[in-house]
């Protein structure tokens, strides 16, 4: 119930952005495994150059207070893309393919962010490791 409310609020926010600017804002979500706060030039790294990410940052939003819900990849992706705790969408730990170690996969009925954005005219793509 709470998830549905949050999704609706987010959708209304996006519609509001679209009406205010005349265009839908682009939404780019980059999830990187094992990246520290200071590993990007835009966040203060002196020894690393990240010009393309810096360009995205200069023309977008900067987040300075953020937390991962889990220290491993699969549950973090599941939570971010669904807006729910990872346990509620079937991914409490790293997805593994071997039966004895299998935590399970993303629940078939989990509502994902792209499903919410599609009716608003957005197209979505996932590039790279899915692992859900």
Domain boundaries, the chain: 1-30+67-132, 35-66
Render pLDDT for 103-124 as a digit per residue (tens, 0 to 9). 668 888 999 999 999 999 999 9
- C-alpha distances out from residue 111 to 38, 46, 101, 106, Å: 33, 40, 25, 10
- C-alpha distances out from residue 115 to 20, 21, 79, Å: 23, 23, 15
Please give the pLDDT value at position 82.
93
Q: 7 or 54: whose pLDDT is higher?
A: 54
The SS3 of residue 127 is coil
pLDDT surpassing 60 at residue 19 = no
Render pLDDT for 52-87 as a digit per residue (tens, 0 to 9). 988 988 888 877 777 777 888 888 889 989 999 988
CA 24 to chain centre: 18
The SS3 of residue 36 is coil
Residues annotated as part of the active site: 73, 131
CB 88 within 8 A of CB 78: no
């Amino acid at each position: 119930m709470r998830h549905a409310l949050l999704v609706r609020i987010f959708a209304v926010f996006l519609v509001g952005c679209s009406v205010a600017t005349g265009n839908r804002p682009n939404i780019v979500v980059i999830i990187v495994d094992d990246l520290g706060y200071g590993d990007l030039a835009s966040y203060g790294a002196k020894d690393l150059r990240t010009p393309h990410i810096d360009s995205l940052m200069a023309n977008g939003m900067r987040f300075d207070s953020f937390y991962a819900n889990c220290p491993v990849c699969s549950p973090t992706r599941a939570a971010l893309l669904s807006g729910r705790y990872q346990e509620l969408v079937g991914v409490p730990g790293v997805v593994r393919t071997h039966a004895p170690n299998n935590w399970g996969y993303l629940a078939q009925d989990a509502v994902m962010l792209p499903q919410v954005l599609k009716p608003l005219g957005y197209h979505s793509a996932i590039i790279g490791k899915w692992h859900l």
